[in-house]
Amino acid sequence: MRNKNNYPLEKSDEDWKSELSDEEYRILRQKGTEYPFTGKFNDHYQEGTYLCKGCDEPLYTSESKFDSHCGWPSYDKAIEGSLEEVPDHSSGMIRTEIVCANCGGHQGHVFNDGPTSTGLRYCVNSASISFKKKKE
């Protein structure tokens, strides 16, 4: 994971607002979150790739997705180099925020409580991602 402040894809706030829905903008650009169990990808298990909703960069493969019962889409690993980890001390907690390494879009947080061999749980907002089905 990278840790930097400038992103290859930078847009004005007006551009982001015109390209994203209000909910996508609130989550991707203002670091919001959706209510648990409401996102369209929480119970989604087709084969393919999950992309950043802000810039279409691949972030996760369907092979890394699992049901964590937390209410948000969860993955045990990200595509190498696709995310930046940022210390997050908001809300009176110490967490690690994950953002798209290409556009800086907020994805969610990563935790060290995953049930697979990676020990990680990337907890992601459905509004932060889109899905590209695997070609057969």
- Mean pLDDT (whole number) for 87-97: 89
Q: How many CA atoms lie within 13 A of 14 on its CB side?
A: 0
Please name the residues in contact with 80: beta carbons below 8 A apart, sequence gap of 6 or more. none
**Residue 23 is which amino acid?**
E
Burial grade of 22 (CB within 10 A; 0-12, 13-18, 19 or more): exposed
What's the CA gap between 14 and 6, in Å, rounded? 18
- Cα 120 to its chain centre, rounded Å, is 14
Kindly state whether residue 71 falls inside one of the protein's structural domains: yes
Number of domains in the chain: 1
Kindly state whether residue 6 falls inside one of the protein's structural domains: no
The residue length of the chain stands at 136
pLDDT of residue 91: 78
Kindly state whether residue 58 falls inside one of the protein's structural domains: yes
Kindly state whether residue 94 falls inside one of the protein's structural domains: yes
123 given a catalytic annotation: yes
pLDDT digits (tens, 9 = 90+) for 50-91: 999 999 999 999 999 999 999 999 999 999 999 999 999 987
Q: Are 98 and 83 in contact (CB under 8 A)?
A: yes
CATH number at residue 119: 2.170.150.20
For residue 103, pLDDT over 80 is answered with: yes
For residue 1, pLDDT over 50 is answered with: no
Kindly state whether residue 103 falls inside one of the protein's structural domains: yes
Kindly state whether residue 89 falls inside one of the protein's structural domains: yes
For residue 5, pLDDT over 80 is answered with: no
Whole-number Cα distances in Å, 45 to 20, 65, 67: 24, 8, 9
For residue 21, pLDDT over 60 is answered with: yes
Nearest to 127 by CA among 48, 30, 21: 21
Domain that holds residue 50: 13-133
Kindly state whether residue 127 falls inside one of the protein's structural domains: yes
Instruction: Check 55, 100, 103, 123 and give the catalytic one.
Output: 123
